[in-house]
Amino acid sequence: MLTRRTVLGTAAVLAAPASVRAQPAPIRIGEINSYSAIPSFTLPYRNGWQLAMDRINASGGVLGRKLEIISRDDTGKPQDAVRLAGELLDEQKVDILAGGYLSNVGLALSDVAQQRRRLYIAGEPLSDALVWQKGNRYCFRLRPSTYMQAAMLVEEAAKLPAKRWVSVAPNYEYGLSTVKWFKALLSAKRPDVTFAGEQWPALGKIDAGATAAALAEAQPDAILNVTFGPDLTNFVRQGNTRGLFDNRSVVSVLTGEPEYLDPLGDETPEGWIVTGYPQAQLTTAANTAFIAAYKARFNAVPGMGSVVGYSLIQSIAAGIRRAGALDADKLIDGFSGATFETPFGPASYRALDHQGTLGTFVGKTAIRDGKGIMVDWHYANGAAYLPSDQEVRALRPSAG
Amino acid sequence: MRFLAIQFLTGLSGSASLFLMSAGLTIIFGVTRVVNFAHGSLYMLGAYIGWSILTRIPHDPIWFAAGVIAAALATAGIGAAIETVLLRRLYRAPELFQLLATFGVMLVIQDLTLLIWGPNDLALPRASWLRGSVTIFGGHFPAYDLILIAIGPAVLAVLLLLLNRTRFGMLIRACTENRDLAAALGVNHRILSTSVFALGAGLAGLGGALILPDTSANTQMDLAVIVEAFVVVVVGGMGSVTGAFLASLMFGELQAFGIVLIPGATLVLVFVIMAVVLSVRPRGLLGDAPIMSVVSASGKPVRPVSLCIQAFGWGLVIMAATAPFWMPSYWLSVLTEILIAALFASSLHLIMGPGGMISFGHAAWFGLGAYSSALMSRTLSAPMPLALLAAPLTAGLVALAFGWFVVRLSGVYLAMLTLAFAQIVWAAATQWTWLTGGDDGILGVWPSGPVPFFWWVLSLSAASIWLLRRVARSPFGLALTAARDSEPRALSIGLRADRLRLVAFAVSGAAAGLAGGVFTFTSGSVFPSYIAVGKSVDVLLMVLLGGINTVIGPVAGAVAYTGFYDLLLQTTSLWRLALGLTIVTLVLAFPDGLAGNRRRWRP
């Protein structure tokens, strides 16, 4: 029966706004990346962090608060990244900075973090300097560095009978550093190897035919390739046509990542030893769930960038939970040693140098159904491919 | 022997794609005098459109050829559209002004390409006939590269036939030699310009489509090729197709063999070659084109600024001085950046406006100043004022030394030599890791001392801009303008053009160096990217946007460009599209620059 009480009671219930307890302010993360400069990596990367943020918020957030990510485009220039970091810290009042792709942007952000005494969690920048020569206590880095990737590949390269090596790497810090570490680590394991030649094509402007011919002229047994992206596609095609890879072993960094492997298509050279991400072949529970959730949300298959974005936010959530507060010193203590979940399994940030132990997969390339994939792969845990603690301490600035 | 033969042929095939790019650019420049910054974008569009077409048709050679030609025609159509809609309205503006418009077009095309084709690299699956190789002296050489080697001279032959045996070609040559006279004789310049632009765009599109078997279509293609295309065009001589062919041959071979001899020289090889050629033949190999000028030949000295605007300017400075008290710190950082950009642009304006010298490499001085401040501060632990002093001194001295070579050239050749030098400095900054830290840069250069750094920036910028204005209006500045307008006349009254220009160059370099030094302390670090081509282009755009004829021009341009850029970057992910459209609109509305006269719309 419709009484006055019923009507008034219903109206009161409907009219009561947040008589439910008030929502606490969200934790804000300021994310900066090179969205316009390297869209092939950063767009899957953004999907990855959006997925992570939604999942964390769906299961209650962090410390009872939701996560909010404010994202900016640094156009690949460190000076823009620095200015935007200032905007995020001062205008948007973010609690933590994150992101970065290029190493110089990562270093600039790390410097801002130190100056402003706020945390910066670097996702993709691979330069060793970020945690070693120019490391500081406010900067943490997720992905395995050039040293670690080189070490993982050296482990396989040392098993090859090859003695005479040549290298081809893009002419900037990433290429220089990878080749340097590869040479040093391989020579330590195999004193009999020689490095007979090297090529340094400018990034994005490789003269693939000339480079391939120059490498072949040195008559190597094996080749170290550090080129990626369109340079890699160009190099592979010219190398295939000119028979550069016939009867030669090739060790190639990052080539197993879907972003770089897919454009090779049915020209994927077989038998290359690469680091990368085997995607759906990795049938661990964590990865299968990740791929399913990603597909459901974005109707696409995740790439390596997606794994980095997802793992980055998961690591930040784990670090904040462990810290229990958003004050910088507590955060540093919380992040140092924090363990977090990634599609590759659990990983953590080392207290010694703030380097993440997230590893990558090492395997061989092959062609299935006209597409390149990784086979015979195994997971290389980042923690196992780092130099001794003494060496690390010697590399880091004494202010720590 | 085998290696030499294979490498020689590789150089030839590399030169073929270089030639297609540069032929289009040189023809466009020869007739329309447009420095087409969007040429790399047309190349990229040719690749993407070619990919879209070629992945949908059968893979045998006839279809491939048809698809490539279709892509080239589509790109030609886009070129014609750009010319009709935009560039045609700018022909009355000073010649270099169209560069600004084409830069806007480039930005728009970058974002549109991303929107239409997505972020992934698009690789064309190669049919079996494209993967074949021929055996030469026992080594494998790709069969497709032989096709490319044949295409180069074929296209050259067609172009020469077109230029020398057809009426259209005769009109092109007439306009290249003397546009005004050709117009006076009744040549329909509009249709000619459109068709020439379409031809140039079509050649670029052809070049883009033809590289698809070798590499993937990607969003960085445009920037990767444009600088090298300009270098080839300049070395060959602007407006000369045969020159472009010879230059691409030279570059193709030198690069193919250069990387064997000095693998690490890949960053600078092209520019060192250009610098050498220009010092021996200042007009390029076969160049005979007239000098490209920045200002229309009206011979006006830089206009004085009215008292009203002067007072307004000082008022702004005083208001800005109080900013640290009330402005939020992010906007303060934007204002700091604008002030530094204004100083940087004003320094370039000194040599571009009164001096009449175009510089494509002004970032070199900025970078030198930035690095010297950083090194003083970090390596020598100098206090900040001393580090800031080192910046203009270092940059000015190097500018004085380098200027000696530069002031002997003129027009676009001078501009390209400055670009070459900037690229060499950039490569040194990248590769001399022991000094500069290489790509990792120098970190931790933060301001110290009790005075908020913003006041340093404001006072240094304002004082330097005021000084530069005094220089431009001083007897020295007027003499410089006189030398710009007519060197022989100036010489007849005792003014030595090259000495005047050298001093101007040094002063300009010093001011740019100061801007760089201040910038280092603002962002806390210095990287080789401060010397990259992008930085030189940015400051050039600011000066052009603001207008050459006034002294507040560069300041207005710096404020507008930096302000728009920062605002759009924060606001939208399609900031390039927005910025490009903004620039194009501003260019159409203010063909004399923001500080020039507003265009009177004619019916």
Give pLDDT tens digits for B232-285. 998 998 888 999 999 999 999 998 888 888 888 878 888 888 888 888 887 888
> What pLDDT is attached to residue B416?
86
Least-confidence region, from B7-11, B75-79, B266-270, B360-364: B266-270
Which two structure tokens, joined as six digits, stand for B394? 């270092």
CA distance B25 to B19: 10
> What pLDDT is attached to residue B3?
86
Tell me the shortest Cα–Cα distance from A202 to chain B, in angstroms.
Answer: 6
Closest CA to A124 of A34, A63, A51, A198: A34
> What pLDDT is attached to residue B323?
85
Same topology between domain B2-280 and domain B309-589:
yes
The string of DSSP letters for A71-84 reads EEE-TT-HHHHHHH
Q: Nearest 5°: phi and psi at A246?
A: -65, 130
pLDDT per residue over B78-107, tens digit each?
A: 999 999 988 888 877 776 778 888 999 999
**Which of chain A's residues have a Cβ under 8 Å away from the Cβ of B11?**
210
Q: Is B520 on the interface with A (CB under 8 A)?
A: no
Tell me the shortest Cα–Cα distance from B314 to chain A, in angstroms.
Answer: 27
Q: Do A115 and B266 touch (CB under 8 A)?
A: no
Q: Do A36 and B575 touch (CB under 8 A)?
A: yes
Instruction: For residues B543-572, give the mean pLDDT.
Output: 87
Q: How far is CA A119 from CA A31, A334, B59, in A?
A: 12, 11, 54
Q: Nearest 5°: phi and psi at A255?
A: -65, -25
> What pLDDT is attached to residue B603?
41
Instruction: For residues B372-391, give the mean pLDDT.
Output: 91
Q: Is B138 on the interface with A (CB under 8 A)?
A: no
Chain A contact probe: residue of B115, B344, B570 with most A CBs at under 10 A: B570
pLDDT per residue over B184-228, tens digit each?
A: 888 887 888 899 999 999 999 999 999 999 888 998 889 888 888
Task: List, as own/partner pairs, every contact residues B309-312 make where C-beta atoms lie below 8 angstroms and the sequence separation is at least 24, other chains included.
Answer: B309/B552
Q: Do B215 and A110 touch (CB under 8 A)?
A: no
pLDDT per residue over B475-515, tens digit each?
A: 999 999 888 888 888 889 988 888 999 999 999 999 999 99
Q: Locate the chain A residue with the closest alpha carbon to B433.
A: A173
The string of DSSP letters for B60-103 reads SHHHHHHHHHHHHHHHHHHHHHHHHHTGGGGTTS-TTHHHHHHH
Report the first-to-last Cα separation within chain B, whole angstroms.
Answer: 68
- Position with higher pLDDT, B299 vs B113: B113
Amino acid in the structure at residue A277: Y
Which two structure tokens, joined as six digits, stand for A324? 């229990």
Q: Nearest 5°: phi and psi at B571?
A: -90, -40
Instruction: State the DSSP code for B409.
Output: S
Q: Locate the chain A residue with the closest alpha carbon to B574.
A: A36
Which pLDDT tens digits describe chain A residue by residue (400 residues)?
Answer: 566 666 665 655 555 554 455 678 999 999 999 998 888 899 999 999 999 999 999 999 999 999 999 999 998 889 899 999 999 999 999 999 999 998 889 999 999 999 999 999 999 999 999 999 899 999 999 999 999 999 999 999 999 999 999 999 998 889 999 999 999 999 999 999 999 999 999 888 888 999 999 999 899 999 999 999 889 999 999 999 999 999 999 999 999 999 999 989 889 999 999 999 999 899 999 999 999 999 999 999 999 999 999 999 999 999 999 999 999 999 999 999 999 999 999 999 999 999 999 999 999 999 999 899 999 999 999 999 999 999 999 988 865 4
Domain borders along chain B are 2-280, 309-589
Q: Where are the beta strands (DSSP E) in chain A?
A: 27-33, 67-73, 96-99, 120-122, 139-141, 164-168, 194-199, 222-225, 249-256, 273-276, 339-342, 345-348, 360-368, 371-380
Same topology between domain A27-144+283-358 and domain A147-279+361-385:
yes
Percentage of chain B beyond pLDDT 90 is: 44
Q: Domain A27-144+283-358 maps to which CATH number in 2.60.40.420, 3.40.50.2300, 3.70.10.10, 3.40.50.12780?
A: 3.40.50.2300
Instruction: For residues B379-391, give the mean pLDDT.
Output: 89
Q: Is B441 on the interface with A (CB under 8 A)?
A: yes
CB pairs under 8 A between A and B: 202
Chain B contact probe: residue of A205, A224, A232, A233 with most B CBs at under 10 A: A205
Nearest to A78 among B328, B529, B575 (CB): B529
**Which of chain B's residues have a Cβ under 8 Å away from the Cβ of A90?**
328-330
CATH architecture assignment, domain B309-589: Orthogonal Bundle (1.10)
CA distance A134 to B583: 39
> What pLDDT is attached to residue B295?
44
Nearest to B123 among A110, A209, A265 (CB): A265
> What pLDDT is attached to residue A13?
57
Q: Is B177 on the interface with A (CB under 8 A)?
A: no
> What pLDDT is attached to residue A226?
96
pLDDT per residue over B514-533, tens digit each?
A: 999 999 999 899 999 899 88
Nearest to A198 among B219, B263, B431 (CB): B263
Q: Locate the chain B residue with the closest alpha carbon to A43.
A: B119
**Which of chain A's residues have a Cβ under 8 Å away from the Cβ of B256?**
207, 209-210, 213
Domain A147-279+361-385 CATH assignment equals 3.40.50.2300: yes
The SS3 call for residue A7 is helix
Q: Is B347 on the interface with A (CB under 8 A)?
A: no
Tell me the shortest Cα–Cα distance from A192 to chain B, in angstroms.
Answer: 24
Q: Locate the chain A residue with the closest alpha carbon to B133.
A: A241
Q: Locate the chain A residue with the closest alpha carbon to B114.
A: A39
> What pLDDT is attached to residue A269?
94
**Size (chain A), residues:** 400
pLDDT value at B294 more than 60: no
CA distance B368 to B500: 23
**Which of chain B's residues have a Cβ under 8 Å away from the Cβ of A247?**
none
Q: Are B104 and B119 in contact (CB under 8 A)?
A: no
> What pLDDT is attached to residue B601?
40
> What pLDDT is attached to residue B296?
42
What are B85's strand-pairing partners? none
Q: Locate the chain A residue with the closest alpha carbon to B144.
A: A241
Q: Are B366 and B513 in contact (CB under 8 A)?
A: yes
pLDDT per residue over B135-160, tens digit each?
A: 888 888 899 999 999 999 999 999 99
Nearest to B214 among A78, A202, A238 (CB): A238
Q: Do B114 and A262 touch (CB under 8 A)?
A: no
CA distance A63 to B344: 48
CA distance B215 to B144: 13
Residues 6+ apart with CB under 8 A from B151: B16, B20, B210
Chain B contact probe: residue of A89, A242, A255, A268 with most B CBs at under 10 A: A242
Q: Are A258 and A45 in contact (CB under 8 A)?
A: no
Burial of B184 (0-12, 13-18, 19+ CB in 10 A): exposed
Nearest to B7 among A201, A204, A210 (CB): A210
pLDDT per residue over B313-359, tens digit each?
A: 888 888 888 888 888 888 888 899 999 999 999 999 999 888 888 89
> What pLDDT is attached to residue B136?
85
CA distance B433 to A127: 14
Q: Do A213 and B6 touch (CB under 8 A)?
A: yes
pLDDT value at B598 more than 60: no
- Position with higher pLDDT, B32 vs B61: B61
CA distance A202 to B554: 34
B433 band by pLDDT with thresholds 50, 70 and 90: confident
Closest CA to A46 of A109, A112, A98: A98
CA distance B167 to B185: 15
B600 band by pLDDT with thresholds 50, 70 and 90: very low
Give chain B's mean pLDDT: 87
> What pLDDT is attached to residue A21?
56
Assigned CATH for B2-280: 1.10.3470
Closest CA to A221 of A188, A186, A181, A258: A186
Q: Are B462 and B314 in contact (CB under 8 A)?
A: no
Domain borders along chain A are 27-144+283-358, 147-279+361-385
B552 band by pLDDT with thresholds 50, 70 and 90: confident
